[in-house]
Amino acid sequence: MKNKKRLIIYLFVVLVLIGIFELVSIYISKPGQGTIVQTKTSPYEVPAVKLVPTLFTSPYVSFSYPSILKKDLANKPINPVVDEYLFSYIDIESWNLAITIYSIPGGAFSDNNAYQVRKAYPTKYLESTQVVNGQNVFMFSDQTISSYNKVAFLLHGSYQATISLSGDDPSGQVILASTLTMILSTWAWKH
């Protein structure tokens, strides 16, 4: 009789443990619940990509760019180029940012071949002008491709800047536009 009682208690304990184990397993395997709170840490931020500004400074200019872009090595400048800055971001798609600073004594875009080529082909390059921080920015968008490709031209005395941003992600146009806005709105000449 004692053994029968022990066996019943033992079976009862085992069944209770199995029940507890099953309840814990069911609880753990349930989908979790939470709350998504979207906060903006930057005025340039767009959903899914955080465009955290990083300050870049050189002897000629300073500007902010998204920290997801990594600085690449540039070629040694050859006159009239005085400096060049290259950045890239590669994930599923890629972004390329190239900024070139020229010293052109005439101080006019008529001396800038990249500007003249775009100006000569208005069906390929859509031109627009905007004023950013009190300076005129001349923009050209390549209309023959589905990806993002814009080039901005800025003048400052005998210095010129060409800011080229391209990305092969057709769905990421808003992010790339926000990146260009960040660069242009923080742009400051040092000479």
Whether residue 173 is contained in a domain is answered as: yes
What's the CATH code of the domain at 135? 3.40.1000.10
> Does residue 47 fall inside a structural domain?
no
Residues 169 and 92 reside in one and the same domain: yes
Claim to verify: residue 29 and residue 59 sit in the same structural domain: no
For residue 89, give its domain range: 53-189
pLDDT digits (tens, 9 = 90+) for 120-143: 999 999 999 999 988 899 999 999
- Give the mean model confidence (pLDDT) for residues 176-184: 94
Total count of domains within the chain: 2
pTM: 0.73
**Mean per-residue pLDDT over the chain, rounded:** 83
Residues 101 and 25 in one domain: no
Residue 44 lies in a domain: no
N-to-C CA span, the chain: 101
More confident residue, 42 or 144: 144
Q: Does 69 share its domain with 137?
A: yes
Do 68 and 157 share a domain, yes or no? yes
pLDDT at 17: 67
Q: pLDDT tens-digit profile of 52-95?
A: 999 999 999 999 999 999 999 988 999 999 999 999 998 777 89
Same domain, 62 and 5: no
Decide if 137 is inside a domain: yes
Assess whether pLDDT exceeds 90 at residue 5.
Answer: no
Confidence (pLDDT) at 35: 42
CB 103 within 8 A of CB 159: yes
Instruction: For residues 9-17, give the mean pLDDT.
Output: 68
Determine, yes or no, domain membership for 158: yes
